[in-house]
Structure 1
């Protein structure tokens, strides 16, 4: 895809960042939020509770709604994550959906590196005390291993997003396939936000 300001024809204020595991959603979303000077919300941080338990659908939706309706988020936001149980809440309010769609090998390598670093350092995730373990990393069970889940669901996830691009038409869609794409996009967004370039 040719990257230019035509991919962001209006200033972005409410952005949903999606992509398969390992695509770099949270890293990209944090950078985008900084450039737009809006809050960043990571849906994993809402969903995951101590002991690797997940919020119920109702509690998850209530928490997401509470964030998006708060005064802190009134001027805009960047939300990252793929959660069907709350996707409509984010997308109904979004003006832009950014789909990070790197090749399968790239997302898997990035995911493997992330998992190894987290496992070795025993990094506590999302303030929950949850840590990734070698048994999770090496498991072939997609309900235990994010690597196994990402590998098995890569093509299904891509097909579903391609369908959603035709179904969800009130937003502008941006698809980025590489780190170069994301870097150029962030530069373009910053230029528009700073008023150095007029969006079409």
Structure 2
């Protein structure tokens, strides 16, 4: 495994897991949010972002976290493994709310400078709707773009611990 793609709802633990997997396997870490957002939460232009993601995905090794469904077609064929962080939506919502409070005065390491933690109704709706709207799109993309790609689905903390314990150590 040299290229691991980690996706899931906001608050599912993608970035935390990505940091741990990259550390354990000694692989480069790519947080897609750092490439998509500009200071002040200004989104990248679509063409530029796709070009950047294409170049990142072409690298020989990485752990990449982030959804950005419009670029799954670029990332899935290059991945050796897809990890779907899929805890219950209430846990994701609780983590998002806690993160907003804890990180209120700072910028998280998986975000670019100038993008402090924020919370609004559309974002909360996205978290709530992820299981019914976004997760099926991710799984459909896997089926159509990379049907032979192994998928690990982590629903519980026990799933997460077991999977991490199964990773080789470098």
Whether TM-score is above 0.5 comes out as: yes
In 2, distance between residues paired with 1:176 and 1:22?
13
Give the TM-score taking structure 1 as reference length. 0.76
- Alignment pair present for 1:124 and 2:107: yes
Q: How far off its partner does 1:66 sit?
A: 2.8
> Hey, what does 1:4 align to over in structure 2?
none
Instruction: Could you tell me which runs of 5 or more consecutive residues in structure 2 were left unpaired when the two chains were aligned.
Output: none
- Alignment pair present for 1:186 and 2:164: yes
- Alignment pair present for 1:93 and 2:93: no
How big is the alpha-carbon RMSD for the aligned residues of Structure 1 and Structure 2?
1.9
Residue pairs, 1:1-200, within 5 angstroms: 12-69=1-58, 73-74=59-60, 76-119=61-104, 122-125=105-108, 126-133=111-118, 137=119, 139-140=120-121, 142=122, 146-167=123-144, 168-190=146-168, 193=169
Give the TM-score taking structure 2 as reference length. 0.88
In 2, distance between residues paired with 1:170 and 1:80?
20
Instruction: Could you tell me which runs of 5 or more consecutive residues in structure 1 were left unpaired when the two chains were aligned.
Output: 1-11, 195-200
> Hey, what does 1:198 align to over in structure 2?
none
Structure 1 residues 152 and 169: CA distance shift in structure 2, 3 A: closer
In 1, distance between residues paired with 2:12 and 2:76?
19
SS in 2 for 1:82: coil
In 1, distance between residues paired with 2:107 and 2:18?
20
Per-residue CA deviation, residues 95-138 of structure 1 (Å, 9 max, x unaligned), is: 1111111111111111211122122xx112433212235xxx3x
In 2, distance between residues paired with 1:156 and 1:27?
23
Q: How far off its partner does 1:57 sit?
A: 1.2
Structure 1 residue ranges (4+ consecutive) displaced by more than 4 angstroms after TM superposition: none
SS in 2 for 1:16: strand
Larger Rg: 1
SS in 2 for 1:51: coil
Greater CA deviation, 165-174 or 86-95? 165-174
SS in 2 for 1:155: helix
Q: How far off its partner does 1:20 sit?
A: 0.9
